[in-house]
Amino acid sequence: MKKTAVIQIAILAFAVSASAAVLEDWQMNDIDGRKVTKLNNDAGTATFATANAGVTVTNGHLRASYFVSNYGLLSNAELTTPDLTSGSYTVETKFISGSTVNSNGLGGSFTVGLSDINGDDRTDLWSIGLINKAEGLRLQVKVGTTRTDVHYFNSHTLTNDLVVRAVVDLDNDLLDVYYTIGTNSEQSSLDLSVNDGAVDVVRLNVGNQKYVAGDHIEIDYLTFSDSASTNTGPANTVVLGGPNTRLAGWWEMSPLPKDTGVPSADFVAMDTNGLIFTVSAESVNGNIYALNTGMGVTGGTTNWIDSVPDAESLKLTLAIEGGSVSNLSASFGFGNWNNPQSLSVSDGTTTTNLMGPFALDVDVAEYGAGNVLENLTALSETNISTWSIHFTGNAGTTNGIYLRSLILSYDYAGGTALPYSQWALDHDLVGAGAGYAVDPDKDGYNNLYEYALGGNPTNAAEMGISPTIEGLDYVYIKRKTATTDGLNYNLELTPNLAIGTWTNDTSKYAVTGTGEVDSDFDAVTNRISTAADDQQYIQLRIIKN
């Protein structure tokens, strides 16, 4: 298939700590009614400094409930060994119950994090926890005034356990967030920037003054650990889009015109093993088109979700080059909700109802929750995986929904990187930076052209060998591995730049010779015919098949 549209896709690696040393450990196994200042610490000496009668131990859990108006809880526990400035550390907690149905969108929170204390000044390096909003609970990271939404529950009730594990790298000021909902696979949001500083305290912040009587959130434990250990776990995660991302850069990254009404598009990324992933999205039924914000349908005079079941269907096909993977799982995120009635995903064997049938309204600027489908199939170079997504709604001109995020988790099963992959790795390009249509050095030549013409994608001064015109001869260089790479070098001509059409008309030129430039490239000479046209404009187009 031709790679004609490339979006920004992050290729992320994640790992699970196998033997982290627990430094502070609150298991909440205290007597009922005990406040946070009296919690037993099974590992260290850290104790929380302030208490709130609305945050106490209940049945082996720390329960936050409504207490009195305008009174929340912010409490710091100074570490047994404070002033940590280097290394990797993990904060982990488990939310086991939560309901904010009474306060609805009035606010409220339950977060944990790490802070730097310098005299009377406190700098919060980061915090993470459950935030109550109008559309429901969300898992959110806060750094300074910047908030990053990691997961949306689309409900004011936490129906499954939520384990959150936040790993901070103090040397690089980065945060990796891992979370598990119920029995689903662990998901992640990686390389979030955090404030620089020393770690002095574990911070507990509960905004229960905004709860209403009957609301509560509970955690089962809270630990602080040294993350230095041998890591194990799934090798890679491929993310199309992601939390807090609207994917407005799709067509900015594309070699095609910035159209948003096409019924299909290909999205490409590469991981650190040199595997190239291509996800082809194609409208099967209904009004599904590629949008700046995703792939789906929007409200309008003709585009809406039809009330007929499966009237709108989207097919996703995944192909992998350069190796194989196993233990594949997929997570889908949806946005721009307005009156969808049902939503399902099928892998051809099993159909999973992600939502519905019911009506649901979600803020159009928000990222949908998505669901996880585990181990759908094992993939290789010759085996592709196909999913179909079906939307059903109330017919109307204001209805809309789109697929905003697709996350693929997998284990690398081996392979040999393709020449392009190895070239990209040699220039430290992975993920979004390795896309064919990306131009990292902003020199006007994307990666595909830099590779095809011998350029350096990280140095704007090294654009490779551009085509030249010598008399009636047009000369360009061509990689000797072009066939293996699936590269087509097409000479295109048009008689008129204003209204003409570029065509690869071989009757108007002929290849008259090739010569070796070096061990990687040949020079191709083309004689341009002047017999039929008074003038011709020439360009070289390189296409990846």
Q: Which residue has the higher pLDDT, 302 or 84?
A: 84
Domain assignment present for residue 135? The answer is yes
Whether the predicted pLDDT of 10 surpasses 80: no
Domain assignment present for residue 433? The answer is no
Residue partners of 371: CB distance under 8 A and separation at least 6: 184, 331, 332, 345, 352, 354
pLDDT tens for each residue of 219-242? 999 999 988 633 333 445 555 443
Q: Where are the beta strands (DSSP E) in 136-261?
A: 136-143, 146-152, 157-158, 162-169, 174-181, 187-193, 201-206, 216-226, 231-232, 236-240
User: Do 257 and 219 belong together in one domain?
Assistant: no
User: Do 278 and 307 belong together in one domain?
Assistant: yes
Whether the predicted pLDDT of 250 surpasses 70: no
Helices (H), strands (E): how many in the chain?
Answer: 3, 36
User: Do 186 and 222 belong together in one domain?
Assistant: yes
The total number of residues written for the chain in this structure? 545
pLDDT tens for each residue of 384-403? 567 676 665 555 545 555 56
Residue partners of 514: CB distance under 8 A and separation at least 6: 478, 522, 523, 524, 525
User: Do 96 and 183 belong together in one domain?
Assistant: yes
pLDDT of residue 351: 67
Of 229, 263, 283, which residue sits at a domain end? 229
pLDDT of residue 408: 67
Residue type, 425: L
pLDDT of residue 297: 46
Interatomic CA distance for residues 4 and 253, integer angstroms: 10
Domain assignment present for residue 450? The answer is no
Q: What is the pTM of this model?
A: 0.48
User: Do 224 and 265 belong together in one domain?
Assistant: no
Of 176, 211, 229, which residue sits at a domain end? 229
Q: Which residue has the higher pLDDT, 185 or 141?
A: 141
User: Do 494 and 395 belong together in one domain?
Assistant: no
C-alpha distances out from residue 72 to 25, 52, 108, 525, Å? 23, 7, 9, 76
Whether the predicted pLDDT of 163 surpasses 80: yes
Least confident of 260-264, 323-327, 375-379, 474-478: 375-379
User: Do 224 and 282 belong together in one domain?
Assistant: no
Number of domains, the chain = 3
Q: Tokens 């939310």 appear where?
A: 95
- CATH value at residue 490: 2.60.40
Count of other CB atoms within 10 angstroms of residue 460: 15
Ramachandran quadrant class, 447 (left: phi over 0; alpha: psi -120 to 50; beta: rest): alpha
What whole-number percentage of the chain has pLDDT above 90? 18
- CATH value at residue 161: 2.60.120.200
Render 93-124 in DSSP notation, one character per residue: EEEEEEE-TTTTTS--EEEEEEEEEETTEEEE
User: Do 298 and 400 belong together in one domain?
Assistant: yes
For residue 333, name the pLDDT band (cuts at 50, 70, 90).
low
Q: Which residue has the higher pLDDT, 138 or 362?
A: 138
- CATH value at residue 307: 2.60.120
Question: Average pLDDT over the chain, rounded to whole?
Answer: 73
Mean pLDDT to the nearest integer, 339-353: 64
pLDDT of residue 229: 39
Domain assignment present for residue 434? The answer is no
Domain assignment present for residue 128? The answer is yes
User: Do 223 and 240 belong together in one domain?
Assistant: no
Mean pLDDT to the nearest integer, 93-115: 84
User: Do 189 and 315 belong together in one domain?
Assistant: no
Of 348, 382, 412, which residue sits at a domain end? 412
Range of the domain at 323: 9-14+235-412
User: Do 225 and 240 belong together in one domain?
Assistant: no
Q: Tokens 């995903």 appear where?
A: 345
Domain assignment present for residue 306? The answer is yes
Domain assignment present for residue 430? The answer is no
For residue 2, name the pLDDT band (cuts at 50, 70, 90).
very low
Mean pLDDT to the nearest integer, 290-296: 48
User: Do 241 and 201 belong together in one domain?
Assistant: no
Domain assignment present for residue 205? The answer is yes
